[in-house]
Structure 1
Amino acid sequence: MIIKLTKQSDNKTYDITQMVESVDWSGSTESVARTADITIINAPYDKNISSLPRPATGDFISLTEEKEQFFGRVYGIEKTSEIGTVTVNCIDNLQYLLKSKWNYNFKNKTAEAIAAQVLADVQFPVHTLAPTGINIKSMLCQGETIYDIIMQAYTIAHKVNQKLYMCLLENNKLSVVEKGMIVTNYKLSEGLNITKSSFTESTESIINKVKIYDDKGNQVGEVTDEESIKQYGLFQELYTVEEGVNQNTAANLMLTHPEQTLSIEAIGDMNCLSGYGVTVEDSVTGMKGLYWIKSDKHSFKDGVHTMELELSFKNLMDEKESQGES
């Protein structure tokens, strides 16, 4: 892996690979912005290292493995001692969409049109925006982040077409894509690339009954998962009807089963990223089939690439509810 530093002070780019001891590169479907923690050797008496420029907050770091995998800004630095290591914390440009808050009152726009408008307002480059063709009559946003606004709009579309969407960076430009991409020609398997695995199950997030109400507070329907209620007890949620959205479809999308998570440590593969599906065959946990990456952490040290993956049994979208929508 090649690690490069672009200094704000002189706008020059330097190859600092030889002074890097290790790299942790990670992301998740919930936090969205990818991060990189880079451990740099702090050796003031080694001329090969001391002659290289030091990262400072505001500088840029890029990681390249065949192609550029990460480009982000330094936001934190931790120095352990005069001679030892320095940890440089970086985050990619999606942070700006997570930090910038705006007010909007959209009328008769599609999710892709809403995304295009807010991204233009913050001058964030766009690669592609998944088309939905679904008109959103109104959507009120007050003090919402740009990311949340985009995902609120696509959540409304999701309730109509049941498609899943996610944000990612492609060449430092934002794309909203349909979630469901699979790591092709690749399998995680014990004895091949898995070094450790574990399985957990939790009923904490179960919803097995949804009562449906109109905008006046009158109950107009409900959906239930009787088998789940019988096995785990009643966990109820409420849903208010939305214009243009089938109430039973939307309510059924809210039903959830026990959350099952498969955690895997394995030989690293750069294609195993949050939001993607991956085939698993693991006799230790008894898991076999297609699973979805909730979070990933790729570590590089001494020429060895390893990864830690948290896998979900269900392909889920980072749904965001708006303050007012129809």
Structure 2
Amino acid sequence: MIVDKKNKEMVPEAAATTTADVSVHIQATSLISTASKYAPKIRSGSHTDIGPRSSNEDEHISIDDLSALLGTDCRWPQPSSFYAVFDGHGGSDASSYVKNNAIKLFLEDADLPELSDNDDKFLEDMKISHQKAFLLADQALANECSVRDSCGTTALTAVVLGRHLQVANAGDSRAVLCRKGVAVPISQDHRPSYLPEQKRIEDLGGYIEYGYLNGELSVTRALGDWYMKLPSGDLSPLTAEPDVQHVLLTEDDEFLIMGCDGIWDVMSNQEAVSLVRRQLRQNDDPQKCAVALVDQALRLDAFDNLTAIVVCFSAPTDLRDTVCSERPKLRCCSLSEESLSKLRSLLQGN
């Protein structure tokens, strides 16, 4: 057991065991792949549960159609969607504030660029836009008098513009893509156990004590927590700057799972993907898939708040068709009356 100093509770050591495999595949799988003029078919479901905690500090957002929400002035490609998971700590003030102001912080003020499928500048501008949004949200928390400086939140966001998927993360929530049934992590957990984060922290004068940043936090990137940060503009061991990953979606990409750390502490990436895939074949409903993920985490004795979002990129019937097509096809034939008579005689021993 280790002590979670965010919440002063005892948590199992297994909490750190599912982080190591996250970074292994990112560089190889998050690169832009070739794709035809494919357009994903978006629908999503989400679910949250308080778990064994006394309060739920998680917040989340699921918007399948941004154009409908923002009105006719929005000229983004279809589909245009936005999803986010905010896992608060030190109370729910920070996660609630960021959720309630997310459209302004992450979309309106972030200067999203015009879409261009084969434009390197567009991809770089998208990345800069996402990074700017996280820093804007962090500064907004510093300026918001209703949010205590000891309150903070992780942030995981996903934007779909046409066939572009961009995921940004600060903290230990995680995004996992299902590609032809295989789990592909699209975000990196920012925990003190991650060696590149350890080096970054130590280079900036911070330290890791008992697995915690400066002996305080179990995450190394977060929005808020301004009592641990240097004045605005100065680099701090605790930062809100996100990692940003881009994927050009193809027909092979089936769905995205976004979840807080409570999900991933008790479930591997592949276990979660396989569970959702089974559920999609059974009920055609991403909402039920999100519920199933949370329920499974509860059965596995999760010790935290639980939040999951499932975003489908293709109709669930496409999944069933894929599964059926993998089975060997049987040829049908009809027997003549004479053949049937001979078969009956053979079976009867005549």
TM-score range, shorter chain: under 0.3
TM-score for both structures, normalised by structure 2: 0.25
Structure with greater proportional strand content:
1
Give the structure with the higher percent helix.
Answer: 2
Does 1 or 2 have the higher relative contact order (CA < 8 Å, sep 6+)? 2
Under a length normalisation based on structure 1, what TM-score does the superposition of the two structures give? 0.26
